[in-house]
Structure 1
C-alpha cells in the first residue's frame, strides 16, 4: 500500500527514512503534494493499490484530482499527521508517533455489520401554536407533506387560510422514530376542524369571546348560549353533543415547537426535531430526510450472558440506566433486556458498563478496535517511542478540537500542541470504550489512557466512564504501577484549548516493562482476563506473584486482594455462615456460573473470576446471608472453585437418607413449631424425606380406614 507524505511547504520536520523503516517501505518526502507534485499522487492512484495520503487539509482537492485522473482505481485513505503532531512544539521527536498514525491507516477497513433501515415519505407533523407552526411549514412545505397540530392561535392571531391539515385536542402520547412516529390524542372540542371553513361567523356570534382564531372553544369562558351553532349554519362544524374521541395518526418526521418537548432523553429519536425559530440547519436536516436510510446495528446482545434478571429478581440494570436514547428497557416477561435498534444512536455506553459482556459494541467490533490500539502502540514502540499516552476522542467534535489545537500551536508560541507521545485515536463515540480496552492498552505498552469529552456526551456517560476509570486506576495502583493512568479531558470549543493544551502535557505514568502480544477477544471478560494476567505478571509489586496452597480458605487476606470501587465488574462474595442455610437459591440465580454446588456433598462453591458483581445472588438469598465484595484477588485461587460454606446433612428419621441440611431443617421446625397444622405426627413428617412423607401419610390414612371398618 503506497504511502505519500508531505511536509506541507517545509513546515514539518519529517524524517522519511525513519518513517519508512517503521513501515517497511521506501518513502519519498514531498513538500507540495497537493500542488506542484500532484503528479506523484496521480501515479500512485493509478497503481490499483490502496493509497495512504498523509494530509487531511486538502482532502477535497485530492478527490477532485482523482476524478480527473485517467485509470485512477485506487482507494485513497487520508490521515492527519500535521495538526496531530507535525506542528507541535516537539515535532522533531514525533517520528515514532507519525509512523504509528501511518501504520494505523494501513489497516483494512472494518468488516460490514448488519444495518437498520428507515423509510420516510416526508410526512411531517409540526406541533405548536398555529402562527409559529404556519411560518415553519412555509419553509419546508415544498419538500415535505405538512400537518399542523394546534396548541392555540398564538400571538399572530392564528391561521385564516387552510393551507395544511390542522389537528387539535389533547396530546396523550408521541412515540416512534424516523418513518414510524405515532401520535395519539383526544379530540373533545365541539368544533370539527375538518368541517370548519374559517368563515369566522362563530367568532362574531360568541358573546363571551370563547372562540379564538385556532377555532377551538374555551370551555372555561363558554356560557352555553350556543349562538355559534346557529351562526355556523350549513357548515355544521360545531356540535356540543359530540363524544370525545381518541385518535391516532402516523408521521415520518416531527418538528416540535413547544417549550416542553415530547422526548426528554439526551439523545432524541432520529426524525424528531426541536426548533427555536432561528437556526435554519434544523429545517435543512428535515428536508433531506425523505427516502430510505440505513445505519449500522451498533450492538450485539447475548441473553445467555445477561445478568439483568433471574427468578423475577432484577440484578444488573447498568445498561438501562446509562442509555441516553431510552433504547434499552427491561423485558420482565422474558427476564432480559430489550434493545430497540431504531432508537439506538451507537454511543456504546451500554457496552462499557455491562459487567458480563452480554451486550457488545459492533461498530467496529471489539477485535477490530483492539487491532487499531495494538497497531498504534506497537508501531510507536518499534519506532523508538516511549511512554505513549492513548488519547481517545470522537470522530467529529474531538477531531475538530485536536485540529484547532494543532493549528494554534503553529501560530501561538505559548501553545505546545499535541505532544509527540500522545497517540490520538478517533472513535464513533467516546463512551464505547471501557475497562477491558483501557487495561489492554496499558498491557500493550500505553503509559496512560485519556478520553477527550466534548458537549456531545450525556451526563450519565461521563459518570459511567469516570466510574470505570476509577476501577481501572485502583487495579493498577494496587498492582504497584505508579502515577495517574486514566483521565477524562474536557473541552467544548476554542475557549477550552489552552486548558486542553496544558492537560496534554501531563507527565507519563509507569507502564509495563514488556508489551503484551494477545489480541482483543469478542468476549469482554476474556479480554479483561488476558489484560489482567499480563498486568499481574508485569506488576512492580512482588506480592502479586505470591503462590498460595489450594487449601487456603475463602477469606482473603488484605495483601492478597485489591479493594475496588462499587462499580467494579470484578469481585468476590462475603457470606454470613451463621445465616446461610445452604438452600442454594443463589446457585440457581447466578448467570455467570460463579456460584456452584457440589453434587457429592452439601457445599457452596465460588469462582471469583466468573463473578460479574450483578447482585442477583444477594437479592435472591432468603436469609440475606450474602454481600458483594468488589475486589481483585491476586492469588491463583481467583480462578479456582473455593468452598464458601459447607454443612452437615440432615438424615430422614424414617429411612436415614440425607435430604437437606441440618440448619435448614432446624430453621423450618423452629418457624413452624407454633403452627396448628404442624403438630404431632405432622411435625414428625417434616423430619422425613419426600418419599417417606408420602408413605407415612398413606399408612396413617389406611390405619384410620381399618379402624372405621372395625
Structure 2
C-alpha cells in the first residue's frame, strides 16, 4: 500500500528514510503535495491499491483531484501526523510515533455490521412560548412541516401554523418516531378561535393571553369571555379534557426545561431554551437536513446467555442500565434480561466497558479490531525505535479537535504540543474501551494508557472510567509494575490538554520486558485471561492474590457462612457463569473462581443471606479448579433410606414448619421422606381410611 508523506512546506522535520524503513517501503518526501506536487498524488492513486496520504487538512482537495484523474482511482486513506507529532517541540523525536500512525492507517476497515434506519418525513413539533415557536417555525417552514405546541408567550395575529395547546402528558421516541401525548385542557378551541382578541379584552382578570389559552388559576368564573365569543363559539368551560396523541419526526423544544432529561438526547430532538443567535441558526440548519432516510451502525451485540443481570426473578448486575446516558437499556423482567433500544443507543460503548461478562460487546469497531490496531501501533512504534509509549485515547470529534488545536498552538510557539511518546488514538467515544483493551495495551508494550475526556462525557461515564482504571491499576501494581499506568485526562481547552500531557511524563512506568503478540479475542473474559497471563509471566512480583477495589470488580471469590447455608443450591441455579456448581454425587457447594464475575446474583438469591462477595484476583492454579465451599451430611429418607437432601436443609424445614397445623403427625413424618415415598405414603394412608370407612 503506497504511502505519501509531506512536511507541509518544511514545517515538520520528517525523516523519509527512517519512516520508510519502519514501514518496509521506500518513501519520497514532499513539501507541497497539495499544491504543485499534486501530480505525485495523481500518479499514486492510479490503480486499485489503496493509498495512504499523511495529511487530513486537504482531504477535500485531494478528493477533487482524484475525481479529475483519468482511469481507475484507488481508495485513499488519510492520517494526521502533523498536529499529532510534526508540530510539537518534540517533533525531531516523533518519527517512531509517525511510523506507528502510518502503519495503523494501512489496516483494513472494520467489518460491516447491521445498521439502524431512521425515516423522517420532516414533520417537526416546536414546543415553547408561542412567539418564539412562531419565529422558529418561520425559519423552518420552507423545508419542514411545522406544528406548534404553545406554552405561553404572545402569538402573531396571522395564523401560519397549526397550533396545539393544553397539558403535555408525555413526549417519547426518536428521529422519525416521536410520540406526543397531551390533554386538551384549554377551554378555548384553537381550531375555532378567530384571534379576534374579544376574549382577551373582555376578561377582567387578564387570565387570557395572546397565546389564546386560559390561565385557570387566575380565572374567577365571570365568563365574560364566553359571552364575547358567542358568534365563534370557541370557548367552552364545560368541555372535559380530551386525551390526544400525535406522531412527529423531529422536535424543537424551546422551553427552559427539556422533555428528555438524560445526558444523551434522542436523535432528532433539539433543546434550545434561548432561540437566538448562532445557536438558533445552527439548530435550524441541522433540522432542515434531517429529512429522508438515515442509517447508523448497530454499535452493540448482546448475548443473553452471558448476561449476569437477572436469574429466577432476582436482579444481580445492573451496570449497563445504570451507566447508559441515553436511557437506551432497560430490564425486561419477563425475559430475565436487559433490552437495548438500538434507536436510542448513541454508540458510546459505556455499557460494554462496565459489563463484567462481555454479554454486551462493542461491535463497530469490534474489540478484536481495536486490539489489532493497538497492537499494530505499538509494534510499529517499538520497531522504529520508540520507547515508553503512552496511548492517548480520545473521541473522534471533540477530542480530535483538541489535539489538532494543540498542534497548531505548538506550531505558533504557544504550547509544547503532543509529546513524542504519546500516540493519539481516535475512538467513536472515549467510554467504548475498558479493562480488557487497556490491560492488553500494557501487554502489547504501552507503558501508559491515558483517556482524554472533555465536556461531552456524561458524569456516569467519568465514574465508570475511573472505576475501571482503579481495577486495572490495582492489577498492574499488584504484579509489581511501578508507576501510574492509567490516567484520566480532563481538558476542555488546548492549554489544559498541553498541561495534562506534560504531567504524564513526570513518573516512569514499568511494563513487561517483552511485548505480547496475542490477538484480542471476541469474548471479553478470554481477552482478560490472555492479557493477565502475559503480565503475570513477566511480573516483578508473583503474588498469590491481588485485592481489588469493590466498585466494578470483574474478578473475585465469595464467602459462605456455613452456619447459615443449608445447601439448598439456589445460588447454583442463579449463577450465570457456572462459577457455583453442585456435586451430583454428594451434598457439596463447589466454586470455580476463574468463572466468577462478582455480579451478586448468588447473594441476592440466597434465602439464608449466607453469601458475601470478595473482590480479588487469585493468581494460583487453584483459580481454575473447583473447590468446596460447603458440604454436609446427606439426609436419608426415613422410609426407603435413599438420600434426597441435606441434613441441615431438612432440619431447617422441620424447624420452620413444626408449629404449622398442616404439618403435624403423619404429615410431619412425610417431610422426612423422598418424593417417591411421600406419594406412596400419602396414597397408602388414603386407602387405609377408605377401608376403615367401609
Q: CA deviation at 1:72?
A: 5.4
Q: CA deviation at 1:314?
A: 0.7
Q: Which residue of 2 aligns with 1:248?
A: 245
Question: Counterparts of 1:129 and 1:224 in 2: how far apart (Å)?
Answer: 25
Q: Which residue of 2 aligns with 1:552?
A: none
Q: Which residue of 1 aligns with 2:464?
A: 464
Question: Cα 1:647–1:667, aligned 2, differ >3 Å: closer, same or farther?
Answer: same
Q: CA deviation at 1:219?
A: 2.5
The runs of at least 4 aligned residues of structure 1 exceeding 4 Å deviation read none
Match of 1:89, SS state, is: coil
Question: Which of 260-269 and 135-144 deviates more?
Answer: 135-144
Q: Which residue of 1 aligns with 2:185?
A: 188
Question: Which of 206-215 and 75-84 deviates more?
Answer: 206-215
Question: Cα 1:245–1:270, aligned 2, differ >3 Å: closer, same or farther?
Answer: same
- Residue-by-residue CA offset, 1:203-237 (whole Å, 9 max, x unaligned): 33334433221222233333434333333233221
Match of 1:234, SS state, is: coil
Match of 1:300, SS state, is: strand
Q: Which residue of 1 aligns with 2:681?
A: 696
The answer to whether the Cα contact below 8 Å between 1:419 and 1:504 also exists between their aligned partners in 2 is no
Q: Which residue of 2 aligns with 1:215?
A: 212
Match of 1:235, SS state, is: coil
Q: Which residue of 2 aligns with 1:398?
A: 399
Q: CA deviation at 1:498?
A: 3.9
The answer to whether the Cα contact below 8 Å between 2:418 and 2:498 also exists between their aligned partners in 1 is no
Q: Which residue of 2 aligns with 1:540?
A: 540
1:527-606 matches, cutoff 5 A: 527-541=527-541, 543-544=542-543, 559-606=544-591
1:135-534 matches, cutoff 5 A: 135-152=135-152, 154=153, 157-275=154-272, 276-278=274-276, 279=279, 280-412=281-413, 415-534=415-534
Match of 2:614, SS state, is: strand
The answer to whether the Cα contact below 8 Å between 1:351 and 1:359 also exists between their aligned partners in 2 is yes
Question: Cα 1:218–1:6, aligned 2, differ >3 Å: closer, same or farther?
Answer: closer
The answer to whether the Cα contact below 8 Å between 1:607 and 1:639 also exists between their aligned partners in 2 is yes
Question: Counterparts of 1:651 and 1:510 in 2: how far apart (Å)?
Answer: 59
The answer to whether the Cα contact below 8 Å between 1:450 and 1:487 also exists between their aligned partners in 2 is yes
The answer to whether the Cα contact below 8 Å between 1:564 and 1:632 also exists between their aligned partners in 2 is no
Question: Counterparts of 2:413 and 2:261 in 1: how far apart (Å)?
Answer: 42
Question: Which of 679-688 and 325-334 deviates more?
Answer: 679-688
Q: CA deviation at 1:495?
A: 4.3
Question: Counterparts of 2:360 and 2:384 in 1: how far apart (Å)?
Answer: 37
Q: Which residue of 2 aligns with 1:631?
A: 616
Question: Counterparts of 2:183 and 2:366 in 1: how far apart (Å)?
Answer: 46
Question: Which of 84-93 and 593-602 deviates more?
Answer: 84-93
Q: CA deviation at 1:440?
A: 0.6
Q: CA deviation at 1:350?
A: 0.3
Q: CA deviation at 1:561?
A: 4.1
Q: CA deviation at 1:175?
A: 0.4
- Residue-by-residue CA offset, 1:352-377 (whole Å, 9 max, x unaligned): 00111011111111111111011001
The answer to whether the Cα contact below 8 Å between 2:471 and 2:548 also exists between their aligned partners in 1 is no
Question: Counterparts of 2:35 and 2:534 in 1: how far apart (Å)?
Answer: 49
Match of 2:221, SS state, is: coil
- Residue-by-residue CA offset, 1:67-117 (whole Å, 9 max, x unaligned): 232235111111111111122222222221111110001011111111111
For structure 2, list consecutive stretches of 5 or more residues without a partner in the other structure: none
Q: Which residue of 2 aligns with 1:101?
A: 101
Question: Cα RMSD (Å) of the superposition?
Answer: 1.5
Question: Counterparts of 2:32 and 2:211 in 1: how far apart (Å)?
Answer: 65
Pair 1:19-2:26 in alignment = no
Match of 2:26, SS state, is: coil
Q: How many residues align?
A: 690
Q: CA deviation at 1:417?
A: 1.6
Q: CA deviation at 1:139?
A: 1.4
Question: Counterparts of 1:561 and 1:394 in 2: how far apart (Å)?
Answer: 32
Q: CA deviation at 1:484?
A: 0.5
Question: Counterparts of 2:501 and 2:387 in 1: how far apart (Å)?
Answer: 20
The answer to whether the Cα contact below 8 Å between 2:127 and 2:254 also exists between their aligned partners in 1 is yes
- Residue-by-residue CA offset, 1:569-606 (whole Å, 9 max, x unaligned): 11111111121111100010011111111111111111
The answer to whether the Cα contact below 8 Å between 1:42 and 1:72 also exists between their aligned partners in 2 is no
Match of 2:391, SS state, is: strand
TM-score (norm 1): 0.95
TM-score (norm 2): 0.97
Question: Counterparts of 1:217 and 1:406 in 2: how far apart (Å)?
Answer: 58
Question: Counterparts of 1:202 and 1:9 in 2: how far apart (Å)?
Answer: 73
Question: Counterparts of 2:205 and 2:62 in 1: how far apart (Å)?
Answer: 71
Question: Counterparts of 2:54 and 2:47 in 1: how far apart (Å)?
Answer: 18
Question: Which of 187-196 and 309-318 deviates more?
Answer: 187-196
The answer to whether the Cα contact below 8 Å between 2:55 and 2:78 also exists between their aligned partners in 1 is yes
Question: Counterparts of 1:578 and 1:352 in 2: how far apart (Å)?
Answer: 38
Question: Counterparts of 2:217 and 2:559 in 1: how far apart (Å)?
Answer: 64
Question: Which of 475-484 and 401-410 deviates more?
Answer: 401-410
Match of 1:212, SS state, is: coil
Match of 2:635, SS state, is: strand
